[in-house]
Each structure stands twice: as structure tokens, then as C-alpha cells.
């Protein structure tokens, strides 16, 4: 039963409905009051932290929830995504990018992380690393790579 509430709350957050997601996740977090942090599901704590930052503008506590969750279950790319989003809300783009890339090390095709990085306008590595980015060959190869991905 509680697992269903958590999953529904996460689904709302993923769809961008932070208000409804936060309501459900806050209810679920209430069930773990007085218990150790180890008993609170890391996924719940991470999405709750994202909601705190996005909806309540409580970036400090949101970041703390996301960090604690990530320390416990460092193998879940979604937790890196959530922490990265909180960093973006805190105007810490460099930290966000670093966290997103750590998440990609676990799942190099994670759609949401890749989407965030594209939204940030990050460039890919040069096609030929010893040539300047502006070199004719790198420009042509970069354009071809972009067209092949599109």
C-alpha cells in the first residue's frame, strides 16, 4: 500500500506535477517519522528532496535529502538526476553537470539525464581531440555526428 503511494508520487513528479507528487511523498515520509534514515526508502527521500526544492524553494533541505539518498543507493541513476536538478534550482550548474555525468556512468543512455544535458547546451567532445574545435575537419565531423543522432 505505502509502496503504491510512493510510486504514484514519483510518477506525478516525473510528469511535472510537483504539487500532487509532493502531497503523496510528504504523506509517505510521515510514515517514517521517528524511524532511522536507513528505513526510509532512498528513492522516496530523493524525490521528496526534489519536491522541496522545486515546489517549496527549500533548496538547502532538498539538497540534503537528495545527498543522503544518493549516499545510500549510489547505483540508481534517477537519484543523480534528482540531485542534479536541485543543483540547477540552486544555480549551481557546474555541480549539476558533474552529478549528471556521474549518473551517466551508471546508465549511459538515461533519457532524462541526457535530456537535461542537452537542455543545458553542453557540447560533445571534439571529433579529433588534437585539432581545435574550430578546425574545418572537426566542424564537418561534428555536424555529421549531430545529423546522425537526430
39 or 10: which leads in pLDDT: 10
Q: Does residue 132 lie within any of the structural domains?
A: no
Q: Does residue 12 lie within any of the structural domains?
A: yes
Q: Does residue 38 lie within any of the structural domains?
A: yes
Round to whole Å and give the CA distance between 42 and 73.
7
Domain enclosing residue 84, as ranges: 2-119
Angle at 102 between CA 101 and CA 106, to 5 degrees: 105
Give the cell for residue 104: 551517466
4 or 37: which leads in pLDDT: 4
Q: Does residue 150 lie within any of the structural domains?
A: no
- pLDDT grade, residue 129 (50/70/90)? confident
Q: Is 126 in a helix, a strand, or coil?
A: coil
18-27, 93-102, 127-136: range with lowest mean pLDDT: 127-136
Q: What is the pLDDT of residue 72?
A: 95
The DSSP result for 6-54, as a single string, is HHHHHHHHHTT-HHHHHHHHHHHHHTTTTS-GGGS-HHHHHHHHHHHHH
Q: Does residue 137 lie within any of the structural domains?
A: no
Q: What is the CATH number of the domain that holds 41?
A: 1.25.40.10
pLDDT tens, position by position, 101-123 = 999 899 988 999 989 998 998 76
Residue 145: pLDDT over 90: no
Number of domains in the chain: 1
Phi-psi region of 17 (alpha: psi -120 to 50; beta: other; left: phi over 0): beta
Q: Does residue 108 lie within any of the structural domains?
A: yes
Range among 19-23, 135-139, 140-144 with highest mean pLDDT value: 19-23
127 or 44: which leads in pLDDT: 44
Q: Give yes or no for a contact between 67 and 91, defined as CB atoms under 8 angstroms apart.
A: no
Residue 39 vs residues 2, 6, 44, 94: alpha-carbon distances, Å:
13, 14, 11, 32
pLDDT tens, position by position, 23-39 = 999 999 999 888 877 88
Mean pLDDT (the chain, rounded): 91
Amino acid at each position: 500500500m505505502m509502496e503504491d503511494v510512493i510510486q504514484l508520487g514519483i510518477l506525478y513528479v516525473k510528469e511535472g506535477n510537483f504539487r500532487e507528487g509532493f502531497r503523496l511523498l510528504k504523506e509517505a515520509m510521515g510514515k517514517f517519522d521517528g524511524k532511522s534514515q536507513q528505513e526510509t526508502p532512498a528513492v522516496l527521500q530523493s524525490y521528496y528532496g526534489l519536491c522541496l526544492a522545486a515546489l517549496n524553494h527549500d533548496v538547502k533541505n532538498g539538497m540534503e535529502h537528495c545527498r543522503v539518498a544518493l549516499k545510500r543507493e549510489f547505483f540508481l541513476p534517477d537519484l543523480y538526476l534528482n540531485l542534479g536538478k536541485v543543483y540547477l534550482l540552486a544555480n549551481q550548474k557546474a555541480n549539476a553537470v558533474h552529478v549528471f555525468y556521474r549518473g551517466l556512468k551508471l546508465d549511459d543512455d538515461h533519457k532524462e539525464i541526457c535530456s537535461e544535458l542537452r537542455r543545458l547546451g553542453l557540447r560533445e567532445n571534439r571529433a579529433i581531440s588534437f585539432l581545435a574545435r574550430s578546425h574545418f575537419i572537426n566542424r564537418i565531423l561534428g555536424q555529421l555526428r549531430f545529423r546522425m543522432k537526430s
